[in-house]
Amino acid sequence: MPYVLGIDIASTRTTAATCVNTGDGWGVPEPSWLGARGQEAASAVFLDDDGYLLTGDAAVEAGRSAPARLLTGFHERVGDDVPVIVGGERFPAESLSAVLVDAAVDQAAERFGEKPQHIVLTHPVGWGSFRRELLRRALAEAGFPRAALVAAPIAALHAYLAPQGDVTAGVCEFGPDGAVVTIAAAGVNGWQPVKTVEGVEPGEAVGKVFELAHGAGIPPQALAGIVLCGDAPPVPGRTPCPVFASSDPVLTVATGAANIAARRDLPQPGGPASNAVATVETTLLPRVDVPGELTERPERPPVDITPFPLPERTGAAKLLSRRKPLVAGAAVAVLAATTLLLTLTTREATADKGPEAPPTTSSSCAPVTPGVTSSPEGRC
């Protein structure tokens, strides 16, 4: 049975959703079971003693006895110069992400009996072309050369809103390091990110959407809606625009990625907030990156170093710093000759003098005459 697969690799967990073509159109996206006890699996890889890689919850379980062989947080490291090293083996971060994709594909193929027709994988919204191309090449080496890459907030929007008309919407991705808030505008190429702020406090995420929209000249009530995904808190009671949040917002991004893979239409902007999506096919597609040549790593910005001004030299040192070295050398020679002449003159004057006579000691004592008794005043 033909189907497509959407995969979302987050910092701590991986989720997936499938969309099946029943012959009458594409059905509603359904979660793909990845974990040992749930639909989501840990974004982790474990290298065992035999050199095999375990993924997901099985990797976390094996890592309890050998934590040094457990790898996590590598998806955010795609594009880093330093590879991930474990057990003496070097793994590029993008290759480990491709391992998680391969595991999700195997899970779906075991269920449907064949591999998906198309795969859409999400990535952080802040990635540039260099990181995307690294991941694209790793996916091609893993056997998925046609996998499409879409920013996570754009996939989340496609779970509820179609990019039709001149509209703007917001996305709040909640994670362990706070919320990532993005506003996106619809255009001829689908949803496109306009502004993103990371590390927002979860309780301030919805307010940050309104703040970003105001900075773009869009009143809050003009937003097509706000999509909550990840570990989303309870939906605010009253907001100027619709807020979309499913019963399990962790799966929202993967669901939107499956919608993109199926090339499906979505509810109209401003419509009722519903978890169900339409099944009418459409030719309105988001823009996905076309595989191309790997660009060079972005150059670092130039650094201008201003030399520290040294104090002006004085005396003989000032002469040495001038552009007339002969004059400076002559001055130094005259100074040295004068010093030598003074030294020799001093030595000659000292050598002409004889030995000095011992100093005469004066005494206040009177001479003593034999037979004469001296008075007490005459004694020393």
For residue 185, tell me if it sits in a domain: no
d(CA 34, CA 52): 19
Six-digit token string for 66: 């050998």
pLDDT of 19 above 90: yes
**pLDDT band of 125, cuts 50, 70, 90:** very high
Six-digit token string for 213: 């929209």
Per the CB < 8 A criterion, the answer to whether 149 and 121 are in contact is: yes
CATH code at position 60: 3.30.420.40
pLDDT of 345 above 60: yes
Per the CB < 8 A criterion, the answer to whether 286 and 188 are in contact is: no
* HSE value, Cβ hemisphere, 13 Å, CA-based, for 261: 33
pLDDT of 169 above 60: yes
Q: 230, 250, 254, 245: which is closest to 275 by C-alpha?
A: 245
DSSP string, 67-114: GGGEEES-GGGTT-SSPEEETTEEE-HHHHHHHHHHHHHHHHHHHHSS
For residue 52, tell me if it sits in a domain: yes
3-state class (DSSP) for residue 319: helix
pTM: 0.69
The pLDDT score that the predictor gives to residue 243 is 93
The pLDDT score that the predictor gives to residue 89 is 83
Q: Which residues, 6 or more positions from 342, have their beta carbon under 8 angstroms from its beta carbon?
A: none
For residue 84, tell me if it sits in a domain: yes
pLDDT of 274 above 50: no
**Checking DSSP bridges between strand 168-175 and strand 41-42, what pairing results, if any?**
unpaired
For residue 289, tell me if it sits in a domain: no
For residue 345, tell me if it sits in a domain: no
Higher local confidence (pLDDT), 340 or 320: 340
d(CA 298, CA 23): 46
For residue 87, tell me if it sits in a domain: yes
For residue 256, tell me if it sits in a domain: yes
**pLDDT band of 270, cuts 50, 70, 90:** very low
pLDDT of 304 above 50: yes
The neighbour count for residue 91, using CB atoms within 10 Å, is 18
d(CA 43, CA 9): 7
* Portion of the chain with pLDDT greater than 90, in percent: 53
Per the CB < 8 A criterion, the answer to whether 160 and 246 are in contact is: no
For residue 76, tell me if it sits in a domain: yes
Question: Which of 55-59, 272-276, 302-306, 329-333 is the most confident on average?
Answer: 55-59
Higher local confidence (pLDDT), 320 or 5: 5
Under DSSP, the state recorded for 343 is H
Per the CB < 8 A criterion, the answer to whether 172 and 209 are in contact is: yes
The pLDDT score that the predictor gives to residue 346 is 67
Stretch among 28-42, 50-64, 162-176, 292-306 having the lowest mean pLDDT: 292-306
d(CA 229, CA 30): 16
* Range of the structural domain that residue 40 is part of: 3-160+247-262
**pLDDT band of 1, cuts 50, 70, 90:** confident
What value does the mean pLDDT of the chain take? 79
pLDDT of 285 above 80: no
pLDDT of 267 above 60: no
Whole-angstrom CA distances from 242 to 166, 213, 224, 236, 269 are 17, 14, 7, 10, 9
**pLDDT band of 322, cuts 50, 70, 90:** very low
* Domains identified in the chain, total number: 1
pLDDT of 104 above 80: yes
DSSP string, 231-271: S--PPPS--SS-EE--SSGGGHHHHHHHHHHHTB--PPTTS
Per the CB < 8 A criterion, the answer to whether 90 and 82 are in contact is: no
Q: 285, 342, 308: which is closest to 4 by C-alpha?
A: 285
Higher local confidence (pLDDT), 88 or 48: 48
pLDDT tens string 170-223: 999 999 889 999 999 998 888 999 999 999 999 999 999 999 999 999 999 999
Higher local confidence (pLDDT), 374 or 11: 11
